Structure formats: structure tokens, C-alpha cells
Structure 1
């Protein structure tokens, strides 16, 4: 039912500059460590890691992790005729759907992802709330029967208008 319904609104969010900078800073350190210890033979620190550990860390945190985080990770939000669909690639293999029949109320909000959920990404808090956010502090709060879901967006007005327009047709 869900995957064949018409898409009224679609937003794709990717990591922002601050995350890029942190990941690239960490990757730069890994490359420096690798070049110093493996290429030049200069051990890093007072108790240097064995070369094999250096190579493993370099591959994971100097190559794989930055490519994964900066090239693959994205949050896709869609409003369709029957509800709101979320997919946090690569963590969700299919869309998480919130059908209008299950949504009691929704509203556009400004919130602190750090205070309310402890950060960005797929997050849960002690109040039983779930957040899907990539960056920023704007979102749509969905009140469901048993929990609350916050979906971060860079286009809160457009997302709210899309939800309103589909709700009027139901």
C-alpha cells in the first residue's frame, strides 16, 4: 500500500558542515598517524600501537567511516497520501511509516536536539519519544496514540503545508 502512493513532499537531508569538519579532522589524524608510523617508521606516542593495529584503525577511521558517513548517510522524509514516511539511510532498509489514521496531532516545533534527545540521528529519550534528525532544531512533532515522534527538517513550513494539504483530502 505505502510504497505505491503518490509523494506530495520529499526532503533529503545530509550531514552539515560541522559534522563534516569533525569527521574530516578525525580522518586527517588517522592519515597522519598512518603516514608517520607505517611510511616513515616513526612510532606515535610513548606506547605506540603495533603496526597492524595502526593499519586497521587507519582503514576503519581514515577511509571507511568518512566515506560511509559523508557519502551514504541521509534522512529522507516524504509526505504521501496516507501518511508521513521516514527513512534514515543506511539504518532503515525500508521506510518507517506513520499513517494519518495513527496520528492524533502534529505541529511544527523548534526544539533542542541536544537537550531533548541527547543529539542528532535516530534518538530516544526517557519520555518514550523518538527523534529522527540530521541537523538543526526545526521539526514536526507527531503525537501518536502511544508515543511522540519528532522529525527534524530544514523545511518546516513546507512539510507542515504538505501534511495539512493531504489531511484536508482525507
Structure 2
């Protein structure tokens, strides 16, 4: 990745939408119920109960690890640096995704529906060849690159665009 460049704007988003919390907590609650009923009390769940090993594995994955990762670790980091825009969706990206200014043809603030345009939050793709990095809200920035369009969900789009404009003036 080379030498580090100066960060002009940084935003860290965490899941805030109620649907994230409700979905994850419902799944985790069911896993805890299943685990307690079948493993602790010895009462099989369902007509064809799963083996205890299967129950324990699913409980560990979806009752413990999944909620911790999704509600505790999950975050979207967005940075504007002197040479481009850097995005990291923790824990899915191990390195920053780079969008260098030399590859960006145009950009603009937008208001969009992440559910209508992309089917929800996260790293998403649609049939128009667009990619979205979005966790919260409707505000964002649309980057038009040579071969693709990238939508980045931003909480403070005016500050983000101001940082982009500052870098573009210097180049």
C-alpha cells in the first residue's frame, strides 16, 4: 500500500438501524432458547430434533459469535486522504479498499434508498453495475469511475464533499 498519506476526513459508522438489532437479536434469542431447552433441560426442540453436537455448534455460531461480530465488531470506516478515498468494512475487509482520485471522473452528493436501490445495507451490488458501501442512512456520495459507479453511505456528506473538493483543488 506504500507510505501512509494524510487523512483529511474520517468517519466510522456502526449499525444503528433498528432492523439490524431486531433481526440479529431474534436469531440469537432463538439459538439461546434452542440451546437451553435441548442441552440444559434435555427437552428436544421440534418433531425431528437435531443432535446435541449440531445444537451446540449452531448456538456457538449464531447465538454467540454472530451477535458479537455483527453488533460489536461490525463497522464501516471511510477516509479521504491526499491520494484517494479509502473504505474498510470491518470484519469483511482486511485492508482498505482504495478509490484513487486519478480513477475518479466525477462525484456528487446524493440521497438514496439503500433498500430500493441495493436491497439493504452492507456491501451491495445491483444490476446496473453499481457497488454500494452503506451502513446507515440515506445520504451518500456517488463516485463515477471509469468502469463502475460506487455509492458510499456518509453521515456527513457536506463535510465529506468539502474534503474531496479540497484535495481536487490541490491536484
TM-score, normalisation: structure 2: 0.94
Q: In structure 1, what is the equivalent of residue 99 of structure 2?
A: 98
The answer (yes or no) to whether the contact 2:17–2:136 under 8 Å persists in 1 is no
The answer (yes or no) to whether the contact 2:136–2:153 under 8 Å persists in 1 is yes
Q: In structure 1, what is the equivalent of residue 6 of structure 2?
A: 6
Q: In structure 1, what is the equivalent of residue 15 of structure 2?
A: 15
Q: Following superposition, which runs of at least 4 residues in structure 1 exceed 6 angstroms of deviation?
A: none
Aligned length in residues? 170
- Quick one: structure 1 residues 3 and 74, their matched pair in 2 at CA, closer, same or farther if it must change by over 3 Å? farther
Unaligned runs of 5+ in 1: none
Q: In structure 2, what is the equivalent of residue 162 of structure 1?
A: 163
Distance 1:17 1:97 in 2: 26
Distance 1:2 1:67 in 2: 33
Distance 2:23 2:3 in 1: 36
Q: Indicate the SS of the match to 1:92.
A: coil
Distance 1:163 1:136 in 2: 20
- Quick one: structure 1 residues 169 and 157, their matched pair in 2 at CA, closer, same or farther if it must change by over 3 Å? same
Q: How much does 1:20 deviate?
A: 2.0
- Quick one: structure 1 residues 159 and 44, their matched pair in 2 at CA, closer, same or farther if it must change by over 3 Å? same
Q: How much does 1:21 deviate?
A: 2.6
Q: Indicate the SS of the match to 1:71.
A: helix
Distance 1:119 1:70 in 2: 17
Distance 2:117 2:17 in 1: 22
The answer (yes or no) to whether the contact 1:129–1:148 under 8 Å persists in 2 is yes
RMSD across aligned C-alpha pairs, in angstroms? 1.4
- Quick one: structure 1 residues 17 and 124, their matched pair in 2 at CA, closer, same or farther if it must change by over 3 Å? closer
Please give the residue correspondences for 1:60-139 in structure 2 after superposition, counting only pairs within 5 Å: 60-139=61-140
Q: How much does 1:3 deviate?
A: 5.1
